[in-house]
Amino acid sequence: MYKLWDITRGIIENVLLAQEIVTDIRKRGKLANGVIKLDMAKAYDRVSWSYLIKVLSRMGFASQFIDMIWRLIANNWYSILFNEGESLKRIMKILQEYEAIAGQLINKGKSAFYMHDKISGALSQQVEQITGFKRDQFPLTYLGCPIFHSRRKKGYYNDLIKKVKNKLQNWKGKLLSFGGKAVLINSVLQSIPIYMLSAVVPTKYTINELHKIFARFYWSTKEEGKSRHWSSWDKICLPKEEGGLGFRSLDDVSKALFAKLWWKFRTSNTLWSAFMWNKYCKKNKPTEVQ
């Protein structure tokens, strides 16, 4: 079993692991699988996870399943996978036992379950009756990142674009030099997407839209209206020695971050790397993949 300090240090790996698991529910024969999103006040500080793990072990759940629950802990809610039939009933029984002993209740109004779009309405109603939760639609937000089982859509990343635009609202109308704008872009605006880019690959539209926002802010000479862009964003992202301004292209940042993930996959021994190894590499060890 993973120790607490091993579990809480890899937030990005938790997101990657959750995405891999949710992706599998769309596979043939697995349409009855889904995700439960629980809302429990101050769950990270108050939930007796050691008790929950003991109950899961006593009820015969596999260690891999227990580790998965353990890894998907978040500050205010956590997600667990469930199967059709008795497994779901057993999970709800565990949660009821926890509520009775710990005195901490699940907020059913804010909790939800997620399932594949193609499941029958009867099965969805059955899950709703067993859990008492409403059904919600993918994508769900886990640790600040969208989790989904279908193809990426540009709408999944609207919150990221909105966050960048909201940051700009505080700067509009202020007298800023080009040098001042360059500092704000480098130190603030381009730092906002880094966390998400470490775990997911947004659509090309999302990256281009962010670049447009950066460029529009840099070249603007007034609060509203269009301004002339004297050079393309690709050119001013070049190093200063090559005639650019040293801005970072988010395409390049994304590639660099995923190269880092690939290195961690090949060299580390974590739950995420073990999961990916067993899912995609079969009998080959990550450090031996050519």
pLDDT value at residue 76: 38
pLDDT value at residue 8: 39
> Is this model's pTM higher than 0.85 or not?
no
pLDDT value at residue 9: 47
Give the DSSP letter of residue 32. Answer: T
Residue 210 · residue 193 · CB < 8 Å: yes
pLDDT reading at 234 higher than 80: yes
**Phi, then psi, of 168 in degrees rounded to 5:** -70, -25
pLDDT value at residue 179: 86
In the chain, % of residues over pLDDT 70 = 72
| C-alpha neighbours within 13 Å on the C-beta side of residue 173 | 2
Query: What value does the mean pLDDT of the chain take?
Result: 76
In this structure, the number of other CB atoms found within 10 A of the CB of residue 132 comes to 12
Number of separate helices (H) and strands (E) present in the chain:
14, 6
Residue pLDDT, tens place only, 265-286? 888 888 888 888 888 887 665 5
Omega prior to 139 cis, within 30 of 0? yes
Residue pLDDT, tens place only, 78-134? 445 555 556 788 878 877 877 777 667 788 888 888 888 888 888 888 888 888 899
